[in-house]
């Protein structure tokens, strides 16, 4: 008896009933849900979360039906960005053209993630603002600019002195236009002629040019002409200007100007006038002028002596009397010798009126 060789496959074959049952079940479910959508069957046995829509709308373009009867919307690719001419990416959406419009939130955006997305979309839609410097950065910039614009703050104290000297030198250039020298000659009036009254007044400018030179008729009777010193004679009073008129003319010239004179307080007393000390320069009380003449600084030196030593010129000579014009010109020349030094001293030590 020949041997029989059998090829036996011991693997279990798939159960046909199970496969057929799965196919029948899927067919049954599809048919049942189709009937439910059309309204022939009720949905009382369905879970509340998986209940299909009874009156469903026709599928939209691109939607595919699911097994459970709902429609699946395919996910579209994100919008591409187009590079602009300046290199920055801008969306192709029409809403991007109006970047300041806040996007309206959708009804489905109830979750936290949806709110975060809306916030990010809102911030990206805002126009870009250049960063402004903080308060501390502003202070730093102000300090740097102040150092650049004001380097003299870190300089030594000598710079302030040089600055004041430059200021004085600039002020000196304006002085000649507002500076005059005055000299007055007096006669004796009152009891025994002891009262000094104005009889002649001369005013010269910075260059020595005569601005005013008039004989003045005193309001009181002249008792002593003092011709040896004043040079006034009786004939000078015939056409002399009355005191009130002359005084008004003289004060109009002196007002607002620096007035130079020698023992000038006597001249102001005769004019019945008080000039501010800050605008008064008395050559009889200028220490640098006395030093140049080798005289004591606090001494009151006569105009004749100072003119002889410093200008090498003789004035007030002879018995014909003094010339007020000559004295005023000599006074201005003496002041010019120490003008810079004396004005710097007055800037540091201004006189009080």
Res 122 pLDDT > 70 = no
Which of these, 280, 329, 295, 333, lies nearest to 311 by C-alpha position?
333
Q: What is the pLDDT of residue 338?
A: 95
What pLDDT, in 10s, does the model give residues 317-351? 877 778 999 999 999 999 999 999 999 999 999 98
- For the chain, the average pLDDT equals 74
Pick 275 or 22 by higher pLDDT.
275
In the chain, pLDDT over 90 holds for what percent of residues? 44
Alpha-carbon distance 219 to 78, whole Å?
A: 112
Q: Give burial (CB, 10 Å; 0-12/13-18/19+) of 78.
A: exposed
How many whole angstroms separate alpha carbon 118 and alpha carbon 124? Answer: 10
Q: Rounded to an integer, what distance in angstroms lies between the CA atom of residue 268 and that of residue 187? A: 15
What does the pLDDT read at residue 42?
62
pLDDT in tens, 36-88: 888 776 655 555 554 444 444 555 555 555 545 555 555 555 444 444 444 44
In three-state form (DSSP H/G/I as H, E/B as E, the rest C), the secondary structure along 1-62 is: CCCCCCCCCCCCCCCHHHHHHHHHHHHHHHHHHHHHHCCCCCCCCCCHHHCCCCCCCCCCCC
Q: Which of 302, 315, 306, 312 is nearest to 334 (CA)?
A: 306
The reported pLDDT for the residue numbered 24 is 83
Q: Are strands 64-65 and 280-282 parallel, antiparallel or unpaired?
A: unpaired
Q: Measure the N-to-C terminal CA separation of the chain; round to a whole number of Å.
A: 161
Predicted local distance difference test score (pLDDT) of residue 292: 93
Q: Give the pLDDT of residue 265.
A: 95
- The DSSP 8-state label assigned to residue 199 in this structure reads E
Of 311, 313, 314, 315, the residue nearest 335 (C-alpha) = 311
Q: What is the model's pLDDT at position 334?
A: 96
Better-predicted residue by pLDDT, 276 or 31? 276
Q: Which residues contact 101 (CB under 8 A, 6 or more apart)?
A: 95, 125
Give 144-187 pLDDT, tens digit per residue: 555 445 444 444 455 555 555 555 555 444 444 589 999 999 99
Name the most confidently modeled range: 17-31, 174-188, 291-305, 308-322.
Answer: 291-305
Mean pLDDT of the 120-136 span? 52
Q: Nearest 5 degrees, angle CA 106-CA 112-CA 118?
A: 45
pLDDT of residue 114: 46
Nearby residues of 149 by Cβ (< 8 Å), 6 or more positions away? none
Half-sphere exposure at residue 191, Cβ-oriented, CA atoms within 13 angstroms: 0
Is residue 171 within 8 Å of 216, Cβ to Cβ? no
User: And the tokens for 122?
Assistant: 């809102």
Q: How confident is the model at residue 8 (pLDDT cuts 50, 70, 90)?
A: low
Rounded Cα gap, residues 213 and 250, in angstroms: 10
pLDDT category of residue 35 using cuts at 50, 70 and 90: confident
Instruction: Count Cβ atoms within 10 A of the Cβ of residue 284 and give its class: 0-12 exposed, 13-18 middle, 19 or more buried.
Output: buried
Q: Report the predicted TM-score, pTM, of the whole model to 2 decimal places.
A: 0.53
CA–CA separation, 184 and 322 (whole Å): 10
Q: Three-state DSSP class for 127?
A: coil
In terms of phi and psi (left: phi > 0; alpha: psi -120 to 50; beta: otherwise), the region of 87 is: left
Confidence of residue 141 (pLDDT cuts 50, 70, 90): low
């Amino acid at each position: 008896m020949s041997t029989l060789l059998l090829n036996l496959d011991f693997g279990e074959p798939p159960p046909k009933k199970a496969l057929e049952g799965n196919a029948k079940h899927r067919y049954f479910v599809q048919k049942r849900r189709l009937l439910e959508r059309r309204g022939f069957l009720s949905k009382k046995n369905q879970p509340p979360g998986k209940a299909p829509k009874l009156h469903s709308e026709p599928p939209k373009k691109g939607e595919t039906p699911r097994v459970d009867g709902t429609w699946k919307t395919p996910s579209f690719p994100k919008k591409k960005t187009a590079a602009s001419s300046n290199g920055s990416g801008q969306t192709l959406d029409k809403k991007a053209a109006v970047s300041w419009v806040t996007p309206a939130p959708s009804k489905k955006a109830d979750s936290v993630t949806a709110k975060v997305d809306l916030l990010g979309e809102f911030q990206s839609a805002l126009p870009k603002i250049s960063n402004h410097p903080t308060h501390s950065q502003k202070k730093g910039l102000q300090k740097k600019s102040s150092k650049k614009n004001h380097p003299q703050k870190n300089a030594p104290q000598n710079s302030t002195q040089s600055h004041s000297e430059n200021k004085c030198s600039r002020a000196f250039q304006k002085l000649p236009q507002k500076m005059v020298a005055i000299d007055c000659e007096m006669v004796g009036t009152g009891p025994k002629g002891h009262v000094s009254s104005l009889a002649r007044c001369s005013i010269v400018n910075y260059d020595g040019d005569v601005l005013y030179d008039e004989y003045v008729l005193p309001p009181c009777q002249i008792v002593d002409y003092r011709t040896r010193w004043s040079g006034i004679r009786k004939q000078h009073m015939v056409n002399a200007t009355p005191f009130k008129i002359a005084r008004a003319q003289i004060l109009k010239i002196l007002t607002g100007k620096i007035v130079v004179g020698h023992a000038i307080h006597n001249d102001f007393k005769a004019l019945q006038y008080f000039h501010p000390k800050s605008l008064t320069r008395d050559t009889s009380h200028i220490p640098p002028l006395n030093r140049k003449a080798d005289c004591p600084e606090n001494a009151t030196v006569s105009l004749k002596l100072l003119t002889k030593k410093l200008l090498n010129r003789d004035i007030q000579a002879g018995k014909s009397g003094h010339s007020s014009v000559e004295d005023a010109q000599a006074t201005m020349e003496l002041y010019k010798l120490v003008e810079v030094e004396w004005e710097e001293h007055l800037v540091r030590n201004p006189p009080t009126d």
